Structure 1
Amino acid sequence: MAPAPLPPPAQEHDDAVEQPRGKSKRRRRLERAAAVALALLAIALLLDRLFPLPLPDGSGGSTVVLARDGSPLRAFPDRDGVWRYPVRVEDVSPLYVQALLTYEDRWFHRHPGVNPLALARAFGQWIVHRRLVSGGSTLTMQVARILDGTPHSMAGKLRQILRALQLEAHLSKREILTLYLERAPFGGTIEGVEAASWAYLGKPASKLSRAEAALLAVLPQAPSRLRPDRNADAAREARDKVLQRMAELGVWTPAEVHDARIESVAARTLQPPLSAALLAERLRAEHPQQRRIATTIDAGLQRALEARVGDYLARLPERTSAALLVVDNATLEARAYVGSAAFGDEQRLGHVDMVRAWRSPGSTLKPFLYGLALDDGLIDSESLLIDAPQSFGGYRPGNFDLAYNGPVGAAEALRLSLNVPAVDLLDRIGPVRFAARLAHAGLDLRLPRGAAPNLSVILGGAGARMEDLVGAYVALNRGGIGGRVRYTADDAVIERRVLSDGAAWIVRDVLEANPRPGYAPGTFDPGSRPRVAWKTGTSYGFRDAWAIGATRAYTVAVWIGRPDGTPLPGQYGAVTALPLMFQVVDSLPRSTLSATPQPPPANVTEAEVCWPLGLAFDPARPDLCHQKRKAWVLDGVIPPTLPERDATSWSAGLVRLRVDAGSGARLGAACTSAKARETEIARWPSLAYPWLSRELRRRASLPPLAPGCADDGLDASQPLRIDGLADNAAIARAPNADKPASVRLRALGAAGEVLWLVNGRLEGTTHGAQPFEYAFADTGAQTVTALTPAGAYAQLNLRVLR
């Protein structure tokens, strides 16, 4: 029997080998594909490293400074002169984003940077027409072209595609859209929808209508040809094409599109915004890395006040500039900032920012001096001060009009801005301490190198800046707390105490009681205007004219002068700066409370005080009260009249005497009398007597010394007598003479300096019996006073005939 055949071994071997070979092929193909992918990835990474995206780094770019409502105050072009405003997606109207994406790239949020169908269509058109008819560009590709500047060619299109893919790999869709919103070309040197919206339409991109959104969506396709300010018909046709697309795709309703078509295409003359120019320049320098700087400025108020300042200065001498600052008291935020009269005006030095320039403040520091004197308990609101010629260690201040008022209350001295009482108070407080208190409150004073504060500080003998002055003046309506003016919402709130709450209230009440120019106290006022605590100032030589006013809501400062420091003769605070300040105050928003007085704080009370002693009225001793006044008193303190400085003069205050009951004569220490009695006499400061009425002099005079009594020293002051004319004489100029009537007088009884006043004005100084000559420019009653520094005086009443 034959054996059974065995299976063919070769077949079995081939089947066993075939299966592993198939698996190996597939593996090799996968491996080759992975290798290719890795190689492509490596090449892509290498190319990405070798040709990085030309993304803007933010340095040297354009900057826009915004008002508090988001409108641009001033824009700064980039280094290439391009106007471009930084913008975010949420800063742009959703209508514009709808129109842009619908018309330019409906699949923006779905494709990887390129749209294959659009590219295929564009390629087919290129084959047929041998040129690019439609680019098939996505929004990402347009951003790539904007950033990379690729040419309109096939090679350029390929490069644009690669860049678009690179953009999508590195940035989010939101970031790519933001780049387009900021950098799309809109004609000329305008880039970005925000800059275009302001340039062509005068509004932010957040407030675009449908018609405006459609116009700006299509404008980058042909910026030069479709510019609405040049080719309104072409722009309208392109806009309507976009509107039609929006209707066809159902994004906007036919009714909405119909209404949008009705809108005309109107564009403004292209002018970059230029408001609050010097503040914008300042903030840009302080924040060089910020492309978008939001300020606290009220755009409408800023423009209105810039126009008002320009109109106001038209009547002033040439080369005159001005500065204006309006600050919200509650927040310390600036609402208007006019650094110069006309930015860019070379004749007026319009590039010089006078809001932060160091200038003489004139008398604008006086409210803080009186407030500090109140806090120190030196004065109340009606303390007796003397406005008369005085010397303070060789420094002899005079008033602006060279006239003197004699005895005045502290409130009146502040309202009239009298110099001698202010210097007197500063001398008692100390100029170094006063300057230190102001510096602690944020109001620095600039002095010559190596100089220390002296008495001239209170009359403008130091430099100050407007913004620091305003920061201190806001304390009058903030309970005595001032602070640094804020120009952006991000600025830190820095507050400093300037005065106590009570002192600030009293000073504000005193300044508010000062009537507006042209309105006498008690003049009818319907009460619609705000109460203003105002103060003026004029520097030496008419170089600076100031007016600062504080209402319940705002503090306003005005400076007028020449930035180069040359004088403006005849221009001073009350006539030059004050009218403009009141115009500004009356134009500000106000509430019904702005015209009503604020109640005093708990530590401020009203009291009756008596001159000359300065103490509270005592019904038991009415003879000591020559004049009664109602005063605001701080912390219940009623300080006596300040003591006199000259030790040789009679002291103001209470003098206790022994007099003879029968004759009333004064009894010295060694005199005896069976009918002696004690009496008290209230004396006025020596320098006040030339201004007192005859009755007041009589009440304050000492009775004569009784016969036989030794001199008690109370009559130590040497009496004066004016020689040359009799009292109540009448004089006239010589017949047929051109010169006015004149006199030649001497003061007899004086060994030292003699001050000569005519009708309260200091007109000359002599020594001893030297003659004083004076020609009267006016006719009528005249009063000539000879006065020594110790308080001795003599008066002569004359009548000058025609």
Structure 2
Amino acid sequence: MNKLKKHKIKLIIAVMLLTAYYFALPKELFNKPTSTVIESAEGELLGARIADDEQWRFPQNDSIPNKFKTCIVQFEDAYFFKHPGFNPVSILKAFYGNLSKGNVKRGGSTLTQQVIRLSRDNPARTYWEKLKEIILATRLEFRYSKEKILALYASNAPFGGNVVGLDMASWRYFGRLPSELSWAESATLAVLPNAPSLIYPGRNQEKLIVKRNRLLKKLFKENYIDTITYQLALLEQLPQKPYSVPQTAPHLLQRVAKSQKGERVKTSLNIRLQQQVNHIVKNQYAVLSQNQIHNMAVLVLDVKTRKVLAYVGNSPTTKQHQKDVDIVSKPRSTGSILKPFLYAAMLDAGDLLPNTLVVDVPTQIGSYKPENFSKKFDGAVFASEALSRSLNVPAVRMLQSFGLDRFHHYLKALHLKDIKYNANHYGLSLILGGAESNLWDLCKSYASMASTINHYDDTQGKYYLNEFLEPSYLDDFEPDFGEISKEKTIFDAGSLYLTAEALSKVHRPEGDENWEYFNSANKIAWKTGTSFGYRDAWAIGTTKDIVVGVWVGNADGEGRPGLVGISTAAPILFEVFNILPNSTWFQKPFDELAEVEICTESGYRANEYCNNKELVFVQQAGLKTKPCPFHFWVHLDENEAFQVNTSCENLQNIIHKCWFVLPPLMEFYYKTKNPFYKKLPNFRKDCIVESASVMEFIVPKENTTFYLTKDFNEQQQGIVLNLVHSNSEAIVFWYLNNKYIGTTKNQHKIEAKPEKGMYKLTAVDTFGNEISRIIEVK
């Protein structure tokens, strides 16, 4: 009974000792803060941020180059792959050596023991500590493989100063990856942890080179390197000064540090492309900063994978000009960069054909008075041309026609997160920069539009439900486009293809105007934008494969003369595209297009009165658009000089002809830009005509307020009133509050000098036609 009891106690003690041994080693050996590190898709270092404890300590790396592995084992622990965590022979030698010296001079530690020592912050060297190390080292050998233990050592060994770990040491002292080091360089790093406070590059060169060469000699004797390699290695110089950590994508590093602090992140960036884009931005900054334009951002996306290929968050400016601000994600006024979405939405809804004539005349809607950048008007312009020329007045009128809420719904579907208010908050200025967005979201949307066309071709006429997904800068990102459906996600492929075609005709900046004549030129669908006050300049373009987005301006919002998309952002855009591989153009999505006959002059579906017709492909929804409203059947005399009817001419003498006729105000501006436009002849004076003439105010527009001014002689100036009449022979009589103020003929412009107040302006022509408008004079 006593014997059983005695064995039971031994068993309990044994179990307790084994349990203590099992749990003696912490689950996580190293928990000190690490640097945030980003690498390119090729594995090159793009940048790193120092750890919170001010040490350059890269995250754990389980991969150790063979050269360094050989060097560190031969220098520190030749029997590493044979011992169980400690080397009894080395320990005994160290014990007798220390005993003879009277103090601790030699430790006899294996690499496994050194890992334990590093994990315990290098406690004082005592025999008790050495015993602990041995016990924990054996436990570590049970937990991990030899390769893992070596990796732990390489990642946490000190390499001089505040440099910890092989990865950082390799960059700090040689400016390269550990796998790219020579035998001499690997040997240099292998001997550093042995005395990092004493021997490191830049000081004590003699001691360091003696240690290195001694190790190289051992490698030669052990046949790890041949004679030639050994002799060449001895000739290699030691590093003289530390290298700076690469900062190839500092703003992406800043972004990564917010969500993955202290981690090693392999990004999708192409290092060569990133370096080239950095160079382009640096050169452009040198030019633009002379005009006090200090900031810019560039984003390059792969359409197919939705991965970021290049990320430049800001220019290499100064801290005073906010060089650390990552512009890519910052909301900025959109300028005209949203116009392609309106064009695509109107095509998609069947409210427009690509070349439908849209109105471009002086416009005032309530208190809002949009103007074209050139301050000029075309009267009427093809919708696709209005987009490619970025005309503001047609865009505002198209938005008013389409519906503000309706367009706002499309923008929300694109997940532009900075458009956070309702449609009425923005008003019609939404299309001209009244809203804000950021480069990331806009490039994402352009990429999704391009991808919709690509996928429609790839899937033989279908759509992905998650087409407008978020891009990623992570190398292992796999886009989830969702399920395939016959229903479009937001826009149909036909509308997007026609939008891309229109955007490919945008006039390129100086130097690229004749791109179509070069075989090497890339066909690009692109758009610029300039915000009010010249604060933001945009240029975003897409091919079938790549999206490039550029923003230029000042981070503090200061506007500058000349800060416009075409002259500041567009040159950067095309420089980037010029270093990218050329792409083929999008495949035409025939199933989402229909061939219809349109009027050449108006771009509308042809009616029976259109003389010039052509067959073109339009989006399927365009089949429901109305026929041409500008072609009429007119009746002329034998000389085609006047319009006539049976009240003044025999029927057999009347010539019947189709005629392209625009409303008076549109015609007034259109004929100045289109010399071949033939104005409709007037009726012959002997003809009886009802409402044959039409007139329209140029000034004033609806709800216009005039402000009275004085000249240099303190004399009150009048107000100038102007209208256009379809009949060049018509006489117009002008009235203010039914009081006659004058008569005009041919050029219908008149000056009035009213007092302050509200007035009803009336114009009456000799045919009895009358128009009126309420104005206010202040």
Tell me the TM-score range normalised by the shorter chain.
0.7 to 0.9
- Structure 1 position 528, deviation (Å): 1.9
Equivalent residue for 1:653? 630
* Correspondence for 1:489: 475
Q: In the TM superposition, what is the alpha-carbon distance from 1:399 to its structure 2 partner?
A: 0.8
Pairing of 1:246-325 with structure 2 (within 5 A): 246-266=219-239, 269-288=242-261, 291-315=263-287, 316=289, 317-318=291-292, 320-325=294-299
Structure 1: distance between partners of 2:268 and 2:529: 28
Matched with 2:406 is 433
Alignment counterpart, residue 122 of structure 1, candidates 74, 84, 94 = 94
Shift of 1:413: 1.1
CA shift at 1:179, angstroms?
1.7
- What per-residue deviation string (whole Å, max 9, x for no partner) do you get for residues 438-464 of structure 1? 221333452558954421111011011
Alpha-carbon separation, structure 1, partners of 2:736 and 2:69: 89
State the match for 2:619 in structure 1.
634
CA separation in 2, counterparts of 1:362 and 1:178? 53
The counterpart of 1:237, out of the listed 181, 185, 210, is: 210
The residue identity in structure 2 corresponding to 1:208 is L
The AA in structure 1 aligned to 2:402 is: I
Secondary structure of 1:454's counterpart equals: helix
1:698 shift after superposition: 7.9
- Is structure 2 residue 78 aligned with structure 1 residue 106? yes
Match of 2:589 in 1: 601
2:312 corresponding residue in structure 1: 338
TM-score in terms of structure 1 length = 0.77
Greater shift after overlay, 465-474 or 93-102?
A: 93-102
The answer to whether 1:701 aligns with 2:680 is: yes
After superposition, what is the alpha-carbon deviation per residue over 1:497-539, rounded to whole angstroms, capped at 9, x for unaligned? 4532222222222222334222586577432232222211111
Distance 1:222 1:402, change over 3 A: same
* Counterpart in the other structure of 1:691: 669
1:464-484: CA deviations, max 9, x gaps? 111110011124532445542
Give me the CA root mean square deviation.
4.1
Q: Is the 8 A contact 2:174 2:243 kept in 1?
A: no
Could you tell me which residue of structure 1 aligns to residue 498 of structure 2? 506
Q: Distance in 2 between matches of 1:231 and 1:611?
A: 84
| Aligned counterparts, 1:19-168, within 5 A | 39=13, 42=16, 45-46=19-20, 53=26, 55-56=28-29, 58=31, 60-89=33-62, 91-148=63-120, 149-168=122-141
Do the aligned partners of residues 134 and 638 (structure 1) sit closer, same or farther apart at CA in structure 2, a change above 3 Å counting?
same
Among 538, 549, 553, the residue aligned to 1:546: 538
Equivalent of 1:526 in 501, 518, 529: 518
Amino acid at match of 1:302: Q
Q: Shift in Å at residue 350 of structure 1?
A: 2.1
CA contact (8 A) 2:643 2:681 kept: no
Counterpart of 2:192 (choices 203, 219, 237) is 219
- 1:576 aligned residue (568, 575, 591): 568
Query: Aligned-pair distance for 1:356?
Result: 0.7
> What is the distance in 2 between the residues matched to 1:197 and 1:267?
14
Partners of 1:705 and 1:571 in 2: CA distance: 54
Contact conserved, 1:476 with 1:507, CA < 8 A, in 2?
no
Q: Partners in 1 of 2:240 and 2:614 — Cα distance?
A: 67
The alpha-carbon distance between structure 1 residues 62 and 662, as it changes in their structure 2 partners (threshold 3 A), is closer
**Residue equivalent to 2:548:** 556
SS in 2 for 1:556: strand
Residues 114/33 of structure 1: CA separation in 2 closer, same or farther (3 Å cut): farther
Give the aligned partner of residue 427 of structure 2.
454
Q: Give the residue type in structure 2 aligned to 1:440.
A: A
Counterpart check, 1:378 vs 2:351: yes
Aligned to 1:781: none
Residues 106-139 of structure 1: CA deviation (Å, up to 9, x unaligned): 3323322211111011111112222344321101
CA positional deviation for 1:542: 1.0
Structure 2 CA distance for aligned equivalents of residues 66 and 720 of structure 1: 61
> Higher relative CO (CA 8 A, sep ≥ 6), structure 1 or 2?
2
How far apart are 1:402 and its partner, in Å?
1.4
Deviations 1:192-217 (A, max 9, x none): 11111121122222333322222222
TM-score when normalising by structure 2: 0.79
Q: What's the CA shift for 1:161? A: 2.7
> How many residues are aligned here?
700
Alignment correspondent of 1:728 = none
Shift of 1:261: 3.2
User: Aligned partner of 1:600: which letter?
Assistant: K
The Cα offsets for residues 233-257 of structure 1, whole Å up to 9 and x where unpaired, read as: 4333222222222232334444543
Are the structure 2 counterparts of residues 517 and 559 from structure 1 closer, same or farther at C-alpha, using a change threshold of 3 Å?
A: same
SS at match of 2:529: strand
1:227–1:235 CA contact under 8 A, matched in 2: yes
1:689–1:697 Cα contact (<8 Å) kept = no
Letter aligned with residue 653 of structure 1: F
The reply on whether 1:469 has 2:445 as its aligned counterpart is no
Are 2:360 and 2:393, in contact at CA under 8 Å, matched by a contact in 1?
yes
Structure 2 CA distance for partners of 1:278 and 1:166, relative to 1, 3 Å:
same
Q: Are the equivalent residues in 1 in contact too, given 2:81–2:146 (CA < 8 A)?
A: yes
1:390 aligns with 2:390: no
Aligned residue in 2 for 1:610: 599
Query: How far is the alpha carbon of 1:190 from its aligned partner?
Result: 1.0
Hey, what does 1:647 align to over in structure 2? none
Identity fraction in percent: 29
Match of 1:201 in 2: 174
Q: Return the match for 2:752 from 754, 770, 774.
A: 770
Q: Secondary structure at the match of 2:309?
A: strand
CA contact (8 A) 1:113 1:140 kept: yes
Deviation at 1:699, TM superposition (A): 4.3
CA distance in 2 between counterparts of 1:236 and 1:126 reads 27
Letter in 1 for 2:296: A
Gaps of 5+ in 1: 1-23, 644-651, 722-741, 754-765, 773-785, 794-802
CA distance in 2, matches of 1:135, 1:712: 115
Shift, 1:221, TM fit: 0.7
CA 112–676 in structure 1, closer or farther in 2 if over 3 Å, else same: same
Say if 2:404 and 2:423, in contact at 8 Å, map to a contact too: no
Contact 2:116 2:137 in 1 (8 A): yes
SS where residue 375 of structure 1 aligns? helix
**Distance in 2 between the 1:502 and 1:634 partners?**
5
